[in-house]
Structure 1
Amino acid sequence: MTAHTADAMPLEPNCPKCDAEIGQAHNARCDVATCLATGLQRLDHPPTCPCPPDVWTGQRVGTAECAEFGWMFGPGLPDLNRLFTTATWDPGTRRWTRPDTPHTTASEGETR
């Protein structure tokens, strides 16, 4: 595997919105937190969504995928709008994939 721009980017020790530390869950009203079922902003998901809390990793969700796909405006500037409108969220792997990539189901770990 080759190094991507996101791999070389320094990790942010705290979420820029809710101040969660790496490895800690975002707070309930954090607009950086991701719904792990849909890949979209957690604030927008229904309260009945069974997804687990999103944990701050040091990078916003999608940064690594943008670098991997070459969807960057420049060093350290991922094109997240392109990612959210073009790529597909895979809840099994909890990452964005190109539209033609097979996906796994979160509950069964099977390819669909």
Structure 2
Amino acid sequence: MTDIADSLDELCPDCHAEIGQAHTEGCDVARCLATGLQRLGHGPCRCPQDVWTGRWPGEAECAEFGWMLGPGLPDLNRLVTTATWDPVAYRWTRPSHATNGEGDAR
């Protein structure tokens, strides 16, 4: 079984940016760093360009929060609907209003 942290993709699956390089305009994988959502199709953006990290956006946070659907399969829908985007740190954070002690308000 491969751990998400151990498996980095050298190239973005859409625009083929290398790790540490900015995604190209029109890349489906690139995120808006102001909102954390897909950058494509939301109009002109003044935020810095997102760079390819070797992982799909949100994978690291899902693994950190324990929000996995199975081995190597992050629950990205849960992340986007439950977590909060931090536009300064450029990452998702656990909701502060957790009710069950696991960072989940469901």
TM-score for both structures, normalised by structure 1: 0.79
Task: Choose the corresponding residue for 1:90, options 86, 89, 105.
Answer: 86
* Distance across 2 between alignment mates of 1:70 and 1:57: 20
CA apart distance, 1:96: 0.3
How many percent identity over aligned positions?
A: 69
Q: CA RMSD in A?
A: 1.4
CA apart distance, 1:44: 3.4
* Distance across 2 between alignment mates of 1:13 and 1:61: 14
Residue 40 (1) aligns with residue 37 (2): yes
Which segments of 5 or more consecutive residues in structure 1 lack a partner in the other structure? 102-112
State the partner residue of 1:81: 77
State the partner residue of 1:105: none
AA at the equivalent of 1:15: C
Runs of 4+ residues deviating >6 angstroms: none
Superposed CA deviations along residues 76-106 of structure 1, whole A, max 9, x for unmatched, are 11000110111010011110011218xxxxx
Residue 42 of structure 1: SS of its match in structure 2?
coil
CA apart distance, 1:29: 0.6
Residue 57 (1) aligns with residue 53 (2): yes
Superposed CA deviations along residues 43-101 of structure 1, whole A, max 9, x for unmatched, are 13331x21011100100111010011111011111000110111010011110011218
* Distance across 1 between alignment mates of 2:16 and 2:27: 9
AA at the equivalent of 1:96: W
CA apart distance, 1:23: 1.1
Which segments of 5 or more consecutive residues in structure 2 lack a partner in the other structure? 98-106
Residue 43 of structure 1: SS of its match in structure 2?
coil
CA apart distance, 1:6: 3.2
AA at the equivalent of 1:61: P
